[in-house]
């Protein structure tokens, strides 16, 4: 493939390379032919992977959002940024490798190899760029199962939380089970039954999400009668030993409850070494892996809930999802939610209170709903 340097000129308006019209049409057509062979989910992942590709100038997330929704527009956007055929080939090759579309790689790899045999080029990499094959996405094509527990008693705004969570789970394609105002025994029974259902399911389970909304204190959630349930006991129910159906599957926990009584000067608050088995060659997993746990506040601190609009974290989740949808990895999504929470002013009895969400993760891959 020709390198086409002489067919490009520098645009004074944006500093990008702009080829002649014939080169544009030919390259854009070939790019679109490839994109047309991708599924909707693969196209979505293509745009995600494109954001971190180590090729300058990068396509900005904003331009991807505004111009990259269709294969035709995405192809045009790629050609505008990477007018040299070899540059476009490098980009397509890297993204297709991450998508594992080996069947589409050959048409772009030849040009990449030819370029590599030419003038050496310095690859600009960032420390946080993802190395090919180092981190993949979880396969969420199986059933997505969710469990919602909510204590409504003495928690004004709790009904609003349930509505927002149901809406969010529906948008993320989760089937959910509800448990409202349980006592300790009922909660343990319900959540164990939910876990057993996952293990006994004849359908492949892709992901599990458990939402617990109640009063709480450090390490515990409280039932409507004041009984306490250990969060660690609940987390343990879904580990790799007790829930083999979720081995190497994401297990997400959203905890909306206080973690203590400290107030970070608001709205109304809730009440207070590894060895491998060389003989059998069986892979081993740690007992706890693939967890993602989100708390609404720092350890030992109160969580925030408004009697009319509901919990601060749940409301922020709903607003961020409506604005950005499922375009982000779950950790990035909750980082954006945290940004909204941290930069919003709250008062309790005229005293300012600030909170920050806390994420705990043992994920081994990316999670995109």
Element (H, E) at 163: helix 158-171
The torsion region of residue 33 among left (phi > 0), alpha (psi -120 to 50) and beta comes to alpha
- Cα separation, 268 vs 312, whole angstroms: 10
C-beta of residue 177 within 8 angstroms of C-beta of residue 117 = no
Collapsing DSSP to helix, strand or coil, 110 comes out as helix
Q: Is 258 a catalytic residue?
A: yes
Contacts of residue 284, Cβ cutoff 8 Å, sequence gap at least 6: 274, 276, 277
Q: Which pair of structure tokens corresponds to residue 163? A: 């509505």
- Of 81, 172, 215, 301, the catalytic one is 215
- Cα separation, 108 vs 136, whole angstroms: 22
Beta strands (DSSP E) in 93-243 are 143-150, 175-180, 205-213, 215-217, 220-222, 228-230
Q: Is 347 a catalytic residue?
A: no
- Of 81, 258, 301, 329, the catalytic one is 258
- Cα separation, 68 vs 49, whole angstroms: 13
Closest CA to 167 of 296, 328, 318, 307: 318
C-beta of residue 227 within 8 angstroms of C-beta of residue 183 = yes
Task: Output b/e per residue, 314-330; b: 16+ Cβ within 10 A.
Answer: bbbbbebbeeeeebbbb
Collapsing DSSP to helix, strand or coil, 207 comes out as strand
The size of the chain, in residues, is 369
Distances (CA, A) of 68 to 9, 71, 217, 245, 360: 24, 7, 46, 37, 33
Q: Which residues are catalytic?
A: 215, 258
């Amino acid at each position: 493939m020709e390198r086409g340097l002489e067919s490009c000129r520098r645009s004074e308006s944006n500093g990008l390379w702009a080829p002649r019209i014939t080169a544009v049409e030919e390259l854009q057509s070939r790019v679109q032919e490839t994109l047309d062979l991708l599924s909707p989910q693969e196209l979505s992942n293509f745009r995600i992977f494109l954001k971190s590709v180590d090729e300058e100038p990068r396509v900005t997330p904003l331009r991807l959002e505004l111009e990259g929704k269709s294969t035709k527009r995405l192809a045009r956007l790629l050609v505008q940024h990477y007018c040299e055929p070899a540059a476009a080939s490098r980009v397509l090759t890297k993204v297709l490798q991450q998508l594992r579309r080996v069947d589409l790689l050959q048409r772009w790899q030849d040009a990449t190899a030819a370029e590599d045999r030419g003038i050496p080029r310095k690859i600009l990499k960032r420390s946080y760029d993802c190395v090919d094959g180092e981190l993949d996405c979880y396969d969420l094509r199986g059933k997505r199962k969710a469990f919602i527990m909510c204590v409504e008693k003495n928690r004004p705004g709790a009904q609003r939380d349930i509505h927002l969570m149901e809406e969010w789970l529906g948008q993320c394609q989760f089937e959910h089970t509800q448990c409202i105002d349980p006592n300790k025994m009922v909660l343990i029974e319900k959540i164990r039954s939910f876990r057993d259902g996952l293990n006994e399911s004849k359908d492949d389970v892709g992901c599990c999400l458990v939402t617990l909304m109640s009063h709480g204190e450090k390490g515990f959630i409280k039932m409507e009668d004041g009984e306490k349930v250990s969060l660690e006991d609940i987390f343990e129910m879904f580990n790799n030993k007790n829930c083999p159906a979720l081995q190497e599957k994401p297990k997400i926990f959203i905890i909306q409850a206080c973690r203590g009584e400290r107030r970070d000067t608001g709205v109304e608050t809730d009440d207070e070494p590894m060895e491998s088995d060389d003989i059998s060659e069986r892979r081993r997993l740690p007992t706890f892996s693939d967890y993602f746990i989100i708390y609404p506040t720092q350890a030992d601190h109160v969580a925030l809930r408004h009697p009319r609009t509901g919990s601060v974290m749940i409301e922020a989740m709903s607003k961020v999802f409506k604005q950005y949808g499922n375009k982000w990895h779950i950790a990035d999504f909750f980082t954006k939610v945290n940004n909204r929470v941290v930069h919003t002013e709250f008062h309790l009895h005229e005293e300012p209170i600030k909170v920050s969400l806390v994420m705990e993760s043992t994920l081994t891959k990316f999670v995109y709903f």
